[in-house]
Amino acid sequence: MTASLSGKKNHPEIAISSLIRAFHCPRQYYFLKNTEWKSSEKYSICKQISVAEKDADEENIWNTICMIHPDISPDKRPFLTSCLQAMITAPVRPWTDLDITVHSNKLHLYGLLDKYDAGTGECTLTRCTPSPKTGCWPEDRIRAAALLLCIWETGNGRPSGIYIEYIPSGIIRYYEPSPRDKRQVLLILRQIQKIENGEFPPKPMKPPCSWCRFEEKCKSHEPRRLSGLFKK
Ligand code: SF4
């Protein structure tokens, strides 16, 4: 579910993963809003690398992944090998808690924090994408900002940033969301709210149509011009 109705009809609780869909294009959120979200096999592989014991070898890690995902394709094994090679020199991000669901009651928002370390109060996000040359990807800025807004409301501490592990590149970056990132989270939430209330969203200024599978569907939802209706 991309959003779960929590009591109040007009305030569905929005998953941060849904926020990312709407960040790319609110219409993509509209078309996918009743679709079940499944975490990818690549994410599971990266996650297992991120939390593996120091002495775990590739075979151990693969066996654990196969236990968690019995239907995983052996074709994914080379991805594990290359990620492990990339991570050889990367420091391991410490953690005491894994997969913590964090909520913001004020924003009707929730998400999953990959790692939390109670000793330092540091938070870590695990990604299965290669890192950009510098900083983090725009969608990870939104993820980080949304997670921190939830953590600040419900967590014990008030971390100003979040570590992002780009496992396929073996790179870990620390990111402190800017006010612009937080404003963007609020804007996307407002757009989602309107969609949940039955509105079809307008096309954004720079939609990623060239790699979107909804191009045809999207055209069929465009309002027809009056001049078109009267054509002979
Ligand atoms: S075709 Fe373009 S406007 Fe339509 S959903 Fe896809 S990205 Fe958005």
60-80 pLDDT tens trace: 999 999 998 898 999 999 999
Q: Are 188 and 180 in contact (CB under 8 A)?
A: no
**CB neighbours of 184 closer than 8 A, spacing ≥ 6?**
23, 142, 145
* Per-residue pLDDT reduced to its tens digit, 155-183: 667 899 999 999 999 999 999 999 999 99
- Ligand 1 atom closest to the CA of 31, numbered from 1: 5
Distance of CA 144 to the CA centre of its chain: 9
Instruction: State the average pLDDT over residues 118-126.
Output: 94
Whether ligand 1 lies within 6 angstroms of the CB of 200 is answered as: no
Percent of the chain residues past pLDDT 90, beyond the cut = 67
Query: Does some domain include residue 50?
Result: no
The answer to whether residue 215 is domain-embedded is yes
Span between the terminal Cα atoms of the chain, in Å: 45
Residue 92 and residue 131 in contact, taking contact as beta carbons nearer than 8 Å: no
215 CA from centroid of ligand 1 (Å)? 6
The answer to whether residue 24 is domain-embedded is: yes
158 falls within a domain: yes
Q: Which structural domain range is residue 192 located in? A: 7-34+94-220
The set of residues, in sequence order, having a beta carbon less than 8 Å from that of 41 and lying 6+ positions away, is 69, 72, 73, 76
In a domain, 79, yes or no: no
Residues with Cβ within 8 Å of residue 47, at least 6 apart in sequence? 114, 126
**Could you tell me if 157 and 136 are in contact, meaning their C-beta atoms sit under 8 angstroms apart?**
no
The answer, yes or no, to whether any atom of ligand 1 lies below 6 A from the CB of 217, is no
Ligand 1 centroid, distance to 212 Cα (angstroms) = 6
Asked whether residue 1 carries a pLDDT value surpassing 80, the answer given is no
**Do the beta carbons of residue 77 and residue 62 sit within 8 Å?**
yes
Structure tokens at 49: 């690398």
Q: Is residue 141 part of a domain?
A: yes
The answer to whether 212 and 25 have CB atoms below 8 angstroms apart is yes
Element (H, E) at 215: helix 215-221
Relative to the CA of 25, which ligand 1 atom is closest? Answer: 8
- Counting the structural domains of the chain, the total is 1
Asked, for residue 144, whether it belongs to a domain, the answer is: yes
